[in-house]
Amino acid sequence: MIKTYNIKDISVSEILKREEESRDVSGIVADVIKNVRERGDAALAEYTEKFDKVVLDSIVVSEDEINEALASVDAEFLDILNESAENIRKYHRCQVRNGYSLTDKPGVIIGQRISPIEKVGVYVPGGSAPLPSSVLMNVIPAKIAGVPFIAMATPPSKNGKINPSILAAAKIAGVDVIYKMGGAQAIAAFAYGSETVTPVNKIVGPGNAFVAEAKRQVFGKVGIDMIAGPSEVLVIADGSSKPDVVAADMLSQAEHDRMASAILVTDSAGLAAAVAYELEVQIPLLTRAEIARESIDKYGKIIIAENLRDAAKISNEIAPEHLELMVEEPFAYLPEIKNAGSVFLGKNCPEPLGDYFAGTNHVLPTSGTAKFSSPLSVDDFVKKSSYIYYTKEALELEAYKVNKFAMQEGLTAHAKSAVVRFDTNNSEK
């Protein structure tokens, strides 16, 4: 059963505490990466047979397979996928930035260019819960950024096929090539390439502990989005909130993962008790009841605050992945929120809206990293380059200042480079 605390009786460190993973997978992952790097497709085939229990003729998904998947997906769901994709596009188009030039000094141009990353790899988990939403959220911002090549990797089932809804989402989002490969080996192939797999410059997408560790180990060779932790939701609710609604929203995250955390902070002791009761009513009805049960018992918490502004303060210290402001005047409290991945305003804004449909990105910072990082966006798929242009006359006006600065740092070659063009003994003057 979920535990209830007074805000004065629990620290943020206690709220965020997680059991340490007992298994260190770094050595296993390092071996996988080395094997794929050295042996390419042969290593990928061996891992696919070992872990996915299937021997493949090809790891590349064919156009026929994609068309077959599209034909098999429920027509109504296909319409929903398309509408969700368009919502995501509309939101992320607003994030597009342009470069700039400054020309306020005669003969001087300085500026910034923004260009897309050339090749991106998107990892999509397999398992019992297919995630077409993850395809849309990771691919669409990359497309809007102008990435010319987007590859997707996802593990095949035992029949050698990919879940049709994932293939449908990939088609709608605009993936260029889809590989049947999963786990750390897929991340290694994205980073180093193989006879079949084109190496990429950045890897994004969620995965299990092996995938997360592989992303950690290849970072530097390639870019990554983030190392995501367990899912989180924090609900700030006032006494007028409905306990069954609060409980349902908390469980929408608890069912994700045994280590997920669902936290309620409220100024109403009555609501706290009613939500605790509702959780016990609703958990047994879930298809993933066992997972939700463990999440709520171990990491779920109800915290009673003196007022909603105190609730906002503790939320800022926790910096949750998802924050629901389930209060009467949510926009009045929005300025109080400094640290949160995504904020859901009001009593009619359940967190799954952001997961699937509203258009905001559901790839969010976890484990308190919202204090310094942001949701996945178009910015994650572009690079910025600065540029400088000086005429000879403009340089002559400022070369001495650069020379003086360099000499202050003891870098005489720097100093000479600034003034050599104006040396009367220099034949190239």
Instruction: Please report, in tens digits, the pLDDT of each residue of the chain (429 residues total).
Output: 999 999 999 988 888 887 655 568 999 999 999 999 999 999 999 999 999 999 999 999 999 999 999 999 999 999 999 999 999 999 999 999 999 999 999 999 999 999 999 999 999 998 667 899 999 999 999 999 999 999 999 999 999 999 999 999 999 999 999 999 999 999 999 999 999 999 999 999 999 999 999 999 999 999 999 998 899 999 999 999 999 999 999 999 999 989 999 999 999 999 999 999 999 999 999 999 999 999 999 999 999 999 999 999 999 999 999 999 999 999 999 999 999 999 999 999 999 999 999 999 999 999 999 999 999 999 999 999 999 999 999 999 999 999 999 999 999 999 999 999 998 765 443
Instruction: Please tell me the predicted confidence (pLDDT) of residue 15.
Output: 86
- pTM, two decimals, is 0.94
Environment class of 94 (CB within 10 Å of its CB; exposed 0-12, middle 13-18, buried 19+): exposed
Tokens 């605009």 found at: 174
DSSP 276-319: HHHHHHHGGGSTTHHHHHHHHHHH-EEEE-SSHHHHHHHHHHH-
Instruction: Please tell me the predicted confidence (pLDDT) of residue 128.
Output: 65
Crossing angle, helix 26-39 and helix 183-192, to 10 degrees?
A: 50
Instruction: Please tell me the predicted confidence (pLDDT) of residue 429.
Output: 38
Instruction: Please tell me the predicted confidence (pLDDT) of residue 126.
Output: 84
Instruction: Please tell me the predicted confidence (pLDDT) of residue 411.
Output: 98
Instruction: Please tell me the predicted confidence (pLDDT) of residue 426.
Output: 53
Question: Which residues carry out catalysis?
Answer: 321-322
355: left (phi over 0), alpha (psi -120 to 50) or beta: alpha
DSSP state of 21: P
Query: Residue 342 in 3-state DSSP?
Result: strand
Instruction: Please tell me the predicted confidence (pLDDT) of residue 372.
Output: 97
- CA trace torsion 165, 323, 241, 266 (10° rounding): 140
Assess contact for 323 and 340: CB atoms under 8 A.
yes
